[in-house]
A and B are shown apart, each in its own frame.
Chain A
């Protein structure tokens, strides 16, 4: 089954009354349970495409089918679809609210969903990513980059997503921590029946992680380097 299908998708950045199309005519398919890679130099539009898939940028055209249902352009994600697509951001120093303790960051969305055993779920998550539970009541600035990225991964996984988007999740970390995080992601992917889309400018990371990948260049898929 295809989790995600894109046909002739283009993406615009809208700022004020101006619109600037940065991604053109993307066709691609992501199968359930695979890790799909988007590679390319910075500025090629791979992050822009990811933000559309994350439901953070509704300014796109074309056809997107997510979990078997068509998306409507111009609309933000709501309800179950919002919950089932989660993302791990590039910069672990900017993706956690600086004035919230980790417990609040992690618990608030679960409370909104009306889930039970929230504290148990959070401690379970901490164990899964290899963090000790005494960190739950800390602020993000009391953690290292790798630890923060692990917290960001828990945050995404606590909502039990089907599609996990990874926006260069290791590029801000040093080499040894990079490997740990990538192994952790591989492990979680197997355990949680996840589909992942990973953006990176590092072909080695993509090679290590992904089943399929495409290369993007200047807002389009580079057909010559389409190693699907």
Chain B
């Protein structure tokens, strides 16, 4: 890593790398979501028609929406469904993707063909369209939104896990383990998984930003968590009606989405730089 150029030292910038900035932003985001009841000055769901569509001022830091609800409080509370949905999607996709990829790579033959063609099929589906279709079948809501997004986002994990499993399948240390009587699930979970997991975590962190955007997209289209609960996507949607006169109503949750997505992208990028030897600097 170049830390100085033309005699000017940039050493003091070193702690401000992508990983640390992403990590700090994510910690702040999670902290705000957890402490929302303590930090928010108003109840996010109380309507006050006299104070509707106020510009940001000292009392309502981010202004109010068209029902007179405090936008600062609503943005804080809106972090919760977003983070829950994102965590659910990751918890569903990573294990499924890893299991399918590792089994395909390890067993090969027909198992691999069937699993990977299945992966190809799901990968070729347009994810947001399928998510919308699933949500309209299952009904809108947090869990259904997570299921719908998870359904189309596991293939990338499966492909990566398969490639990496193929690369180590014939390695000497796995052959040695087999010769020592270690087989089956013990070999897969104890010996293969620890080598596949780091890059899966990196990929998960990189995917999180996209999942936040997809979650906001679902909310924007009214397919996420239902009103009156605060959710960034639906807040942008309701603000877009007054975007020319009261731009902050849409802009505030929009910036929240942007920052959350950016935080996870930075975290993912930083993790990749740190953990993936192929991107070693």
Give the B-binding residues of A (Cβ under 8 A): 16, 54-56, 82-83, 85-87, 89-91, 94-100, 108-109, 112-113, 152, 155, 159
With contacts A99-B194, A108-B190 taken as known, whether A89 is within 8 angstroms of B181 at the C-beta atoms is no
B172, B177, B178, B180 — most chain A CB neighbours (10 Å): B180
Q: Which residues of B contact A159 (CB under 8 A)?
A: 180-181
Q: Which residues of B contact A155 (CB under 8 A)?
A: 176, 180
B161-218 contacts to A (CB < 8 Å): 171-173, 175-182, 186, 190-191, 194-195
- How many chain B residues touch the partner (CB < 8 A)? 18
Q: Does B109 contact A (CB under 8 A)?
A: yes
Q: How many A-B residue pairs have CB under 8 A?
A: 57
- Chain A residue at minimum C-beta to C-beta distance from B173: A97
With contacts A94-B172, A94-B173, A97-B191 taken as known, whether A56 is within 8 angstroms of B181 at the C-beta atoms is no
Are A152 and B176 in contact, CB atoms less than 8 angstroms apart?
Answer: yes
- Chain A residue at minimum C-beta to C-beta distance from B174: A97
A82, A99, A112, A155 — most chain B CB neighbours (10 Å): A99
Are A95 and B178 in contact, CB atoms less than 8 angstroms apart?
Answer: no
- Cα A155 to Cα B108 in complex, Å, equals 28
Are B195 and A109 in contact, CB atoms less than 8 angstroms apart?
Answer: no
- Chain A residue at minimum C-beta to C-beta distance from B197: A99
Q: Which residues of B contact A54 (CB under 8 A)?
A: 175, 179
Are A56 and B175 in contact, CB atoms less than 8 angstroms apart?
Answer: yes
Chain B nearest Cβ from A186, distance in angstroms = 22
Can you sample 21 A-B contacts with CB below 8 Å? A55-B179, A56-B178, A82-B179, A83-B181, A86-B179, A86-B180, A94-B173, A95-B172, A95-B173, A96-B176, A97-B191, A99-B194, A100-B191, A108-B182, A109-B182, A112-B180, A112-B181, A112-B182, A112-B186, A155-B180, A159-B180
Are A89 and B172 in contact, CB atoms less than 8 angstroms apart?
Answer: yes
Are A108 and B180 in contact, CB atoms less than 8 angstroms apart?
Answer: yes
Q: Which residues of B contact A89 (CB under 8 A)?
A: 172, 175-176
Are A95 and B176 in contact, CB atoms less than 8 angstroms apart?
Answer: yes
Chain B nearest Cβ from A151, distance in angstroms = 11
- Chain B residue at minimum C-beta to C-beta distance from A104: B190
- Cα A97 to Cα B186 in complex, Å, equals 14
Are A94 and B171 in contact, CB atoms less than 8 angstroms apart?
Answer: yes
Are B179 and A87 in contact, CB atoms less than 8 angstroms apart?
Answer: yes
Are B173 and A109 in contact, CB atoms less than 8 angstroms apart?
Answer: no
Q: Which residues of B contact A83 (CB under 8 A)?
A: 181
Q: Which residues of B contact A99 (CB under 8 A)?
A: 194-195
Other than the given A56-B179, A89-B175, A97-B191, 15 more pairs (CB < 8 A) read A54-B179, A82-B181, A83-B181, A85-B179, A89-B176, A95-B173, A95-B176, A96-B173, A97-B173, A99-B195, A108-B182, A112-B180, A113-B181, A155-B176, A159-B180
- Chain B residue at minimum C-beta to C-beta distance from A161: B179
- Chain B residue at minimum C-beta to C-beta distance from A15: B108
With contacts A56-B179, A112-B182 taken as known, whether A91 is within 8 angstroms of B195 at the C-beta atoms is no
- Chain A residue at minimum C-beta to C-beta distance from B171: A94
- Cα A136 to Cα B176 in complex, Å, equals 18
Are B173 and A98 in contact, CB atoms less than 8 angstroms apart?
Answer: yes
Chain B nearest Cβ from A74, distance in angstroms = 15
Chain B nearest Cβ from A140, distance in angstroms = 9
Q: Which residues of A contact B179 (CB under 8 A)?
A: 54-56, 82, 85-87
- Chain B residue at minimum C-beta to C-beta distance from A51: B175
- Cα A95 to Cα B176 in complex, Å, equals 7
- Chain B residue at minimum C-beta to C-beta distance from A77: B179
A91, A108, A159 — most chain B CB neighbours (10 Å): A108
Q: Which residues of B contact A90 (CB under 8 A)?
A: 172
B177, B182, B195 — most chain A CB neighbours (10 Å): B177
B 74-114 to A, binary, CB cutoff 8 A, 1 in contact else 0:
00000000000000000000000000000000001100000
Q: Which residues of A contact B186 (CB under 8 A)?
A: 112
- Cα A57 to Cα B162 in complex, Å, equals 22
- Chain A residue at minimum C-beta to C-beta distance from B191: A97
